Structures are given as C-alpha cells and as structure tokens.
C-alpha cells in the first residue's frame, strides 16, 4: 500500500479517544487547522461516514480524499467506502477489523501499531517534530508503557478535552514537552484519577470464576483505562468489567489473553434489544483487552454456562431483526455467595 499525499479538501473520520484524536492532529498538521475531522465513536461512525459520502455524491463533482483512522466500520459501510470514487484509506490496528483488510485494498490493519503511528507512517508530510509525540501516543494506546510521559499525555487529554488538547498540540513545537501550566493541570488530573480509583475500590464486587479466576465488576463512568488497569493490579484480578450506567456503555479490561480463557463468562443484562446481543458476540470474540460497547441497561449479571451462551448466540444469529427476550434465567448461574465486596 502506498502512502497518501493529502489534498487541502481531504476529510478524516477518526476515533474520539486519545489515539484517534492525535490522528486528527497529525492530519491537520499537514493541511491546516480548518481541515475537516470527524471525531466518532463506534456507535456513530457508520452513520457519519454514510452521511458525508452521500452529501459528497449529491453536492459536487469533487471527490475529496477520505481517511478513516483508528476505527472499524460495518460491512455495509465498507461497501460504500469501496464504491466511493475518490481516494480513500482506512488505517486501523484492531484485530476485530482484520476482515476489512482481507476484503478491501484501501484498508491497512496493523496490530503492531496504533492508529496514530499508522497515520504518521502512511500520510505524507507530517512534520518530523511530531514523531516522538506519535510514539508516545502509540506507547499509551497499545499499553506498552515504555515511556512514563505517555500516561501523562493521556491525563492531560482528560483534563483539557478534545478541542483544547488539539489546539495545544498543534500550537506547540513538541507536544510531549509539558509547559508550566500543563504541569499544574497534570497534578490536578492525576489527583482526581487517584481519588476516583479509590472510590471504585470501595464499590467493586469480585466474582470468583471457574479456574480460580477473579472478575471484578464495578460502576465507572470515567478514566476507564487507568482505573481498569490499576484495579487489575491492586486487587490482583484477571479481568474487570466497568459499567457506565448513564452512558449505557460497558468497558472491559483484562490481563493479556484472559478474555480468551474466560470465554464462558458473559455479562448480560435486561436483554431487550439487538445491541445487547452485539455485546455478547463481542465479548465472545474478543480475546484481548480494550473494548467498549453500548448496552441497554445498567443491570448486569454474569453467566458462566457455555450452553446458555450458545443458546444466546444462536438467537442472535437467527432472530437478529426482532426484539429478543431471554425468557428463562435458569441457565444463568450467579452465586452471590461467591462474590465478595471489598472495603
């Protein structure tokens, strides 16, 4: 795959996390702050791409370049992108998106690099002064931790939010050098994260699973990466599930490859819609750590029964268009005497 030389009207779709945002920063460092960057989550990326492509087709004869970074897309969306007559490239590193590369020439899925590093490598003209910045973001995103500063960069991103962080990084010669005001913000940010982790430690419920595995379940609506990994270590867990009840999202973190071993563990709730089933299939197919999926309810139970899982899975496949309700909970084995609260 060749590199891409950007034209001024290129359009980027990128993930709304640190890795994705920095893809956008690198992109704008080439063609300017006014360049169109769409920050997306997995829940709306397909919708956004389709809308923009549709608009382009109707409105103009021009075909701006399309760059999709640090995100996967649905098969229907991939079809549309493939049909799009302009130049396009999809740069991602998530294992679950490998199929896109297998099917389409415009996609590069490289698990050995973050989205940011792929953008740095495949987009021409990114100033070399951003190289170390890209390496730090890669270090954080892939949880390598060779550089202590990469964690601080993420903390600063938390404190500043997307727009201020983008402004800051584009305006500095070297975004990995922290200014005096950055240092103060970092101090406040790090304290806030630590306080939050402490609160989670009090609320977490730990389930003992077969094979002496420990699974923590906790309500958490922010700092999921930091809190997740910190709690895995502090409490010596194998995996942790963090439920963001207000945003209806669930995040999972685990020690490397633990999800594969925990295949017969599943988090389900009041299963009423398809989205829950998406969650199920995702839990089943993910074997590594970082995932986020929308859920419909803040209620959570744990299933450790493979037959139930198979049954759920089949229903998903065969009844994907209708509301799904699991009438019986007999298959669910959750034994509250096996759970313990810390504090």
Tell me which residues in 50-89 interact with Mn ion (CB under 5 A). 70
Does the protein bind Mn ion through residue 115 (CB under 5 A)?
Answer: yes
Which one of the spans 60-68, 113-121, 270-278, 296-304 is the region binding Mn ion (CB under 5 A)? 113-121
CA angle 273, 279, 280 (to 5 degrees): 95
Report the residue number, 70 or 244, with the smaller CB distance to Mn ion: 70
Burial status of residue 117 (CB atoms within 10 A of its CB: 0-12, 13-18, 19 or more):
buried
Tokens of 118: 């792929």
In 3-state terms, what secondary structure has residue 334?
Answer: coil
Tokens of 70: 């640090």
Q: CB 224 → Mn ion: shortest distance, Å? A: 14
Q: CB 121 → Mn ion: shortest distance, Å? A: 14
In 3-state terms, what secondary structure has residue 213?
Answer: strand
Q: CB 143 → Mn ion: shortest distance, Å? A: 10
Question: CB under 8 Å, gap of 24 or more: what pairs does 240-244 form?
Answer: 240/204, 240/215, 240/216, 241/215, 241/216, 241/217, 241/267, 241/300, 242/218, 243/217, 243/218, 243/219, 243/295, 243/298, 243/300, 244/219, 244/220
Report the residue number, 70 or 288, with the smaller CB distance to Mn ion: 70
Rounded to whole angstroms, the Cα distance separating 159 from 337 reads 40
Report the residue number, 45 or 266, with the smaller CB distance to Mn ion: 45
Rg from Cα positions in the chain: 21
Which one of the spans 105-113, 141-149, 193-201, 225-233 is the region binding Mn ion (CB under 5 A)? 141-149
Q: Using CB under 5 A, count the residues that bind Mn ion.
A: 5
Token pair 């913000």 in the structure block, residue: 185
Q: 100 CB contacts (<8 Å, ≥6 apart)? A: 72, 73, 78, 90, 92, 107, 109
Does the protein bind Mn ion through residue 288 (CB under 5 A)?
Answer: no
Contact flags string 236-265 toward Mn ion, x per CB under 5 A: ------------------------------
Q: CB 98 → Mn ion: shortest distance, Å? A: 15
Q: CB 307 → Mn ion: shortest distance, Å? A: 35
Does the protein bind Mn ion through residue 19 (CB under 5 A)?
Answer: yes
Report the residue number, 17 or 238, with the smaller CB distance to Mn ion: 17
Q: CB 319 → Mn ion: shortest distance, Å? A: 33
Which one of the spans 5-13, 111-119, 166-174, 175-183 is the region binding Mn ion (CB under 5 A)? 111-119
Q: CB 119 → Mn ion: shortest distance, Å? A: 11
Q: CB 141 → Mn ion: shortest distance, Å? A: 4
Rounded to whole angstroms, the Cα distance separating 219 from 196 reads 11
Report the residue number, 130 or 316, with the smaller CB distance to Mn ion: 130
Report the residue number, 71 or 232, with the smaller CB distance to Mn ion: 71
Rounded to whole angstroms, the Cα distance separating 275 from 141 reads 26
Report the residue number, 143 or 178, with the smaller CB distance to Mn ion: 143
Q: How many residues does this entry show for the chain?
A: 343
- Looking from the CA of 261 toward its CB, the CA atoms found within 13 Å total 14
Q: CB 114 → Mn ion: shortest distance, Å? A: 5
Q: At what angle do helices 224-234 and 180-203 cross, to 10 degrees?
A: 50
Which one of the spans 46-54, 109-117, 178-186, 304-312 is the region binding Mn ion (CB under 5 A)? 109-117
User: Shortest Cβ contact with Mn ion: which residue?
Assistant: 19
Which one of the spans 18-26, 61-69, 120-128, 326-334 is the region binding Mn ion (CB under 5 A)? 18-26
- How far from the centroid of its chain's Cα atoms is residue 127's Cα? 27
Rounded to whole angstroms, the Cα distance separating 320 from 77 reads 19
- Position among 46, 138, 139, 141 found at the interface with Mn ion (CB under 5 A): 141
- Which residues would be at the binding site for Mn ion (CB under 5 A)? 19, 70, 114-115, 141
């Amino acid at each position: 795959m060749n590199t891409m030389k950007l034209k001024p009207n290129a359009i980027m779709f990128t993930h709304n996390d640190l890795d994705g945002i920095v893809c956008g920063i690198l992109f704008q460092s080439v063609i300017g702050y006014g360049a169109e960057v769409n920050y997306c989550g997995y829940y709306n990326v397909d919708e956004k791409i389709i809308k923009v492509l549709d608009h382009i087709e109707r409105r103009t004869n021009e075909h701006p370049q399309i760059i999709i970074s640090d995100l996967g897309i649905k098969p229907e969306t991939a079809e549309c992108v493939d049909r799009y007559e302009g130049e396009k490239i999809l740069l991602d590193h998530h294992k679950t998106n490998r199929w896109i590369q297998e099917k389409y020439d415009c996609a590069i899925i490289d698990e050995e690099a973050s989205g940011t590093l792929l953008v740095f490598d495949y987009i021409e003209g990114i100033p070399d002064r951003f190289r170390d910045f890209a390496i730090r973001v890669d270090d954080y995103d892939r949880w390598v931790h060779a550089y202590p500063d990469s964690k601080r960069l993420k903390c600063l991103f938390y404190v500043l939010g997307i727009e201020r962080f983008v402004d800051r990084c584009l305006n500095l010669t070297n975004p990995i050098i922290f200014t005096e005001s950055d240092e103060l913000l970092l101090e406040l940010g790090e304290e806030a994260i630590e306080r939050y982790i402490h609160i989670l430690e009090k609320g977490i419920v730990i389930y003992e699973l077969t094979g002496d595995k420990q699974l923590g379940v906790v309500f958490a609506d922010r700092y999921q990466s930091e809190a997740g990994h910190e709690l895995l270590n502090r409490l010596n867990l194998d995996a942790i599930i963090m439920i963001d009840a207000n945003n209806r999202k669930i995040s999972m973190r685990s020690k490397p490859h633990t999800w594969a071993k925990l295949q017969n563990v599943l988090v389900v709730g009041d299963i009423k819609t398809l989205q829950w089933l998406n969650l199920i299939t995702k839990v089943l197919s993910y074997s590594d750590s970082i995932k986020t999926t929308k859920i419909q309810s803040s209620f959570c139970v744990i299933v450790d029964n493979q037959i139930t899982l198979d049954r759920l899975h089949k229903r998903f496949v065969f009844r994907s268009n209708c509301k799904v309700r699991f009438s019986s909970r007999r298959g669910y084995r959750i034994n509250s005497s096996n759970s313990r609260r810390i504090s």
